Structure 1
Amino acid sequence: MTIPDFQSLMLPLLEYLNDEKEHSHRETIDHICSEFKLTEKEKQETLQNGQSIIGNRISWAKVYMSKAGLIESTRRGFYRISQRGKKVLNEKPVEINIRYLKQFPEFLEFQAIKYTNIKKDRDETEAESITPDELMENGFNSIQASLGQELLIKLRSNSPSFFEKVVLDLLSNMGYGEGKVTGKTGDGGVDGLINQDRLGLDKIFFQAKRFGEDTPVSASMLRDFVGTLEVNGISKGVFMTTSRFPKDAENVISRSQKSIVLVDGPKLAKLLIDFNIGVSTTKTYEIKRIDSDYFIEE
């Protein structure tokens, strides 16, 4: 039997965890290998980085179901089924795959982050029809999406004041200048400012709202922010949130002559990764090509 793809592993993995006990990744691999009757050769097959293929696919099955709230990590390298996962199994699904997981809002957020960098959405089942370069890019985007959602979860678990500092660090790293956090109760719709020049003649006001995915920024908050820019004579503003904006957000800010940028959770996660805020590099891959000049004989 060939090694199952990671989507085919989702339901067997969740069923294995149905005993509600904490399981290590190592024992999970052993169980899945036994269930699918993999040969010793198949168990030993590895990726170029040395990780076993079956272990890697189980990891991704676990990641995707974790993003949907079906599995929860208990400590490093250990996990168990969640109450939602139990409920899913009670419904006796024929299979669990990416399409099935899209019913859960947390997974949709994960997908939103993943596809921020992709011009044309593709389902993972199309992998065989795309080029190796595209396959690598899709894998990279999956890793970035997982990291992005972890960033949002971390930000939501920290204090609002910490998130204001993160926004300040991000804007500074993006090259907009130095600034300070001014946010406090009754701040009038502004949490900080960036000085784009040394004399502080050109300023950017920013607002930072640390909300859960199910709590969008309200239109009244946007109007308050626009009003603050008007009152202070500031022409530029950035409104960042770990959540999302209302559908009429663009209409609200378009009524003002101010230059205002809205950054929602998925876009924020991408910016944090791109500008190295709260993340570090663990691996680097080099893609090489033939140097045609080298083969030209004199």
Structure 2
Amino acid sequence: MSVPDYQSLMQPLLRCAVRADRPVTILELQDVVAQDLGLDEAQLAERLRSGKQTVFHNRLHWAKQYMTRAGLLESTRRGQFQVTAAGRNLLAEDLPLINNRVLAKYPEFVGWLKSRGIGSEADTAVFALPAATADANATTPEERIEAARRELEASLKADLLDRVRAMPPSEFEGLIIDLLVRMGYGQGGEEMAQALGGSGDGGVDGVVHQDPLGLDRVYIQAKRYREGNSVGPDAINSFIGALNIKRANKGLFVTASSYTKQAREHAERSTTHVVLIDGDRLAELMLRHGVGVIVRHTIEIKTLDEGFFGD
């Protein structure tokens, strides 16, 4: 018997999480799930080709990730998760198997796939098939590689936002400053940026000096907020008021959540240039500029050199 694929691990993982009846981590449940499935030491020791992670742990992680996106599990705090009411209800149905086809009946899961560019409706339908029946020949190798890259990137962005939302406010403000410096604002110098949150400095959380004399400044407001708690127009208006007091002509408002339609309209109508960055955009920028992430693998793909074989 080999290590079950990640879809086959969904139901055992969900069952063990229900039995725990408290926030848990993958590491805490790993041995319990393995014992329930009767996996031996050799199977548990099997590693990915990179050698950096066991196959079992990697597949448990993906089982947890997909069930979280379907709303069956929810993150509590850093690295921990627990079962939701939807997860308990699904387990009570006593299905023979929980897999991507089952998850596809949850709008949250389908919406997550589409919002992350993993597929159109047709692609999502194929993706929702059990792994053994998905038609691997429907796409070219290059397309499959790109689809895998998008999927890994989407999962990483979701993990980044989970961690960011668990940060204390002061650390979140520092993260935004670090990101802006990494992006080249303040001429890329750490001494050109400063977090101001908690100092009572007129309703702003940070400032980036675009030139050594501070003649051109970008003021920052950072609101961490949890998912589903959107920034409204009052917060935007307060920030615009703070910018006016400082006679600033530009500002950046960043949240790990989202903005209401009214909040975006107020920012667009303001005579002060205010840029809004929501959670999805924040995760994208962190990934692009290497903030909070490291390169685990670099894959080199070669193609035919037509010039070498030219006349």
User: What is the TM-score of this pair, normalised by structure 2?
Assistant: 0.72
Match of 2:178 in 1: 169
Deviation at 1:172, TM superposition (A): 0.9
Aligned mate of 2:254, from 224, 236, 240 = 240
Match of 1:31 in 2: 37
Task: State the Cα deviation string for residues 172-205 of structure 1 (Å, max 9, x = none).
Answer: 1111113211222654431111111222111111
1:159 and 2:168 correspond? yes
Aligned mate of 2:282, from 242, 253, 268 = 268
Give the secondary-structure state (helix, strand or coil) at the position aligned to 2:172. Answer: helix
Give the secondary-structure state (helix, strand or coil) at the position aligned to 1:295. Answer: coil
- Paired with 2:31 and 2:89, the residues of 1 have a C-alpha distance of 23
8 Å Cα contact 1:13/1:32 also seen in 2: no
8 Å Cα contact 2:17/2:83 also seen in 1: no
Task: Please list, as runs of the form range in 1=range in 2, the aligned pairs for 1:1-298 lying within 5 A after superposition.
Answer: 6-7=6-7, 10-11=10-11, 13-15=13-15, 19-20=19-20, 23-24=29-30, 28=34, 31=37, 59-67=61-69, 68-70=71-73, 82=83, 84=85, 85-92=87-94, 95-97=98-100, 98-103=103-108, 111=113, 115=116, 122-123=123-124, 124-125=127-128, 128=136, 129-177=138-186, 178-184=192-198, 186-296=200-310
Give the secondary-structure state (helix, strand or coil) at the position aligned to 1:24. Answer: helix
User: What is the TM-score of this pair, normalised by structure 1?
Assistant: 0.75
**RMSD (Å) for aligned C-alpha atoms:** 4.1
CA gap of 1:284–1:29, structure 2 versus 1, over 3 A, is farther
CA gap of 1:71–1:24, structure 2 versus 1, over 3 A, is farther
After superposing the two structures, state which structure 1 stretch, 154-163 or 124-133, moved more: 124-133
8 Å Cα contact 2:16/2:29 also seen in 1: no
- Paired with 1:17 and 1:119, the residues of 2 have a C-alpha distance of 30
CA gap of 1:54–1:167, structure 2 versus 1, over 3 A, is closer
CA gap of 1:257–1:29, structure 2 versus 1, over 3 A, is farther
Match of 1:39 in 2: none
- Paired with 2:149 and 2:37, the residues of 1 have a C-alpha distance of 28
Task: State the Cα deviation string for residues 235-284 of structure 1 (Å, max 9, x = none).
Answer: 21111111111122221112212222111111111111111111111111
After superposing the two structures, state which structure 1 stretch, 64-73 or 231-240, moved more: 64-73
Deviation at 1:61, TM superposition (A): 2.2
Task: State the Cα deviation string for residues 127-165 of structure 1 (Å, max 9, x = none).
Answer: 743332222222222222222222222222221111111
Q: Any unmatched runs of 5+ in structure 1? A: 35-44
The structure, 1 or 2, with the larger RCO (C-alpha pairs under 8 Å, 6+ apart) is 1
Aligned length: 284
- Paired with 1:218 and 1:293, the residues of 2 have a C-alpha distance of 57
8 Å Cα contact 1:188/1:225 also seen in 2: no
8 Å Cα contact 1:29/1:54 also seen in 2: no
Q: Any unmatched runs of 5+ in structure 2? A: 22-27, 41-45, 129-133, 187-191
- Paired with 1:61 and 1:293, the residues of 2 have a C-alpha distance of 45
Letter in 2 for 1:131: T
8 Å Cα contact 1:188/1:224 also seen in 2: no
CA gap of 1:147–1:155, structure 2 versus 1, over 3 A, is same
CA gap of 1:81–1:233, structure 2 versus 1, over 3 A, is closer
- Paired with 1:13 and 1:156, the residues of 2 have a C-alpha distance of 25
- Paired with 1:158 and 1:206, the residues of 2 have a C-alpha distance of 18
Q: Sequence identity, in percent?
A: 35
